[in-house]
Amino acid sequence: MSYNMNLFPIRKFSQAVDHFKKHLKEPIKKDFKMNEYAWMIITEQNRYCITYKREYYKSFSSHFPKLGGGYGQVANIELLEVCILNMVNQFVMVMPDEKIYAVDPKVWLDYYKANNTAVKHLTGECALPLKMFRRFDE
């Protein structure tokens, strides 16, 4: 089941980046577009990769029943690897409902390798349960 995007305040990638910047409590040293799906923000203490996700991975628990219940999220494996090479320590997802989630990309990639969470119907994507993220905006 999908929801009506018009009911949520964030509907575009650019809005997601702006929303994240409003919640960032550190001065930005540098920020730039990595590709059409990811934005890099560098501060004194952190390197963030900001992404916009239209919805949660609601099938996580049915696709990976041995890993526990609940929703998850998916990311491109190559993007996670690029983040690690560029010393990104916060992989951030902004949702349409304005919630912001963050996780270390190394944690995500290690979880994928340890639990084989490749998403079969999305080539090059891997999943992580939502319980592994922290809320950035709280």
The 3-state secondary structure of 9-64, one letter per residue: CCCCHHHHHHHHHHHCCCCEEEEEEEECCEEEEEECCCEEEEEECCCCECCHHHHC
pLDDT band at 6 (very low <50, low <70, confident <90, very high): low
CATH domain 8-135 topology: Trna Endonuclease; Chain: A, domain 1 (3.40.1350)
The residues pairing with 52 across neighbouring beta strands, listed in sequence order, are 94
pTM: 0.91
pLDDT at 138: 80
Query: Could you give the CA distance from residue 115 to residue 24 in angstroms, rounded to a whole number?
Result: 32
Asked whether residue 106 carries a pLDDT value surpassing 90, the answer given is: yes
Give, as one character, the DSSP assignment of residue 132: G
Asked whether residue 5 carries a pLDDT value surpassing 70, the answer given is: no
pLDDT band at 126 (very low <50, low <70, confident <90, very high): very high
**Domain edges within the chain:** 8-135
Query: Could you give the CA distance from residue 108 to residue 73 in angstroms, rounded to a whole number?
Result: 10
